[in-house]
Structure 1
């Protein structure tokens, strides 16, 4: 770190600078991180990022890193911490984390959480050394694009707010931050919604090469009756030859048996959700 390193609140920066800081901060990361101004804006909205508690780091005048802090009541989350190559090392990441912990305590937050990819041992060990504990494992799932499309009627898109409301109604207790229905209260493009007989709902983004499911919910009173399978089959029929997937933010054990039954495979990549009690 040099004397030229500075930081500004996200509220004082352009989204262009923030996106550049994000991309630079995660260069060489254990998995590719693609970010654009629109995708960063969506992340800010869905993750309830606090613009005044989040920072962009600069090396001189060049964006070189980012810290995103999400807040929901007295619970806060480190949604991203990326330190670019020119300012990486020599304890800068630890310093940023210590400042984030200090700020969370000053706000009166009850708990601070984050997620870390389990192969990123250096970051995980840093968080453990600061007092974070692993609260649970997060997993993902995917349906291979090589699987034949089911011979069923393709799913038809519905009103997004209707699907989001149904997903919220059917949500399981204690979801991860990114699968919490509050992430979709203000749902808009590129998300799309699909429902089946008012018994199951899906929120997804089909704007990329593959189809990412953000939320899948089935009415608890009608689970194990085939509604989840029928809806996912209808989606596979709508998008033949394209992979459907859920990223690694689902609490392990929540969907494992269901996904195995419908032929989706668990991702090799996993994350650990980590928490620190601030009370």
Structure 2
């Protein structure tokens, strides 16, 4: 097996390989170049630092590597079905760990579906340690019409705390672009994914500090439910367990089946 930079591939080819590498996975990854491009932009994925795994010249897997400051993140690692169970995973990731260490990164992080026991076992064997559990929420709030003001995602990003998982960190939310849209209701701001989808994907929600704990966030959820009636609202499994449980569960939301673990590999100086 050899590893080559993902930047050698076109966006179309990368999108297709990404989808093939996650065939039969817990969640469906569509072959959609526009969505793949959005992931690269908002999550700060470096295609020059990402790698394509080849066997006899054929692309059989990939590792997407994101970078911010001195932190790296495995934004996605998959292998096409025909080459799974050949112990390629460690050979794909170990060189990237060494590259991160050599350039002076302090740590590498990743999220893995908790129910994916073989993947969790692999990462732990490579030196990753559990940082925290990540959960999601889904629900259909009672609609309550209100005048929503459309704003930029940055308005929400500015209200988010530090030390959030990569996909809901302020840097990620601030970089979201259409079809993602942000809406304000008083001191509360939420960012949604494509509102034409059957489910409203809640990318982030925040309330100005002085107004927290007064029901403004839940009022915004009800206003979103009124604006797109009948559509459930779902936050992906990227929320630290315990951070928003009271808010969402109190609004009638529930946890979906899948959860994730955030793992970290710290590099010694």
Q: Same fold (TM over 0.5)?
A: yes
Deviations 1:118-173 (A, max 9, x none): 110000001111111100000000114xx6x42x22553513x2xx2321221123
Give the 3-state SS of the residue equivalent to 1:30 in structure 2. Answer: coil
2:228 match = 239
Asked whether the equivalents of residues 63 and 93 of structure 2 are also in contact (C-alpha less than 8 Å), the reply is: no
Q: 1:83 aligns with which of 70, 79, 96?
A: 79
Aligned residues: 267
1:194 match = 183
Q: TM-score, normalised by structure 1?
A: 0.90
Identify the range of structure 1 (8-17 vs 223-232) with the bigger mean alpha-carbon deviation. 8-17
1:137 match = 133
Q: In structure 1, what is the Cα distance between the partners aligned to 2:132 and 2:16? A: 31
1:32 paired to 2:20:
no
CA RMSD of aligned residues (A): 1.7
1:57 match = 53
Q: In structure 2, what is the Cα distance between the partners aligned to 1:217 and 1:63? A: 42
1:214 match = 203
Deviations 1:7-59 (A, max 9, x none): 43122210111011111111121332224101100110111001110123345
Q: In structure 1, what is the Cα distance between the partners aligned to 2:199 and 2:236? A: 12
Q: In structure 1, what is the Cα distance between the partners aligned to 2:26 and 2:235? A: 18
Q: TM-score, normalised by structure 2?
A: 0.94
1:275 paired to 2:264:
yes
Give the CA deviation at 1:100: 1.6
Asked whether the equivalents of residues 50 and 64 of structure 2 are also in contact (C-alpha less than 8 Å), the reply is: yes
Asked whether the equivalents of residues 155 and 235 of structure 1 are also in contact (C-alpha less than 8 Å), the reply is: no
1:116 paired to 2:112:
yes
Q: 1:207 to 1:68 in 2, by over 3 A?
A: farther
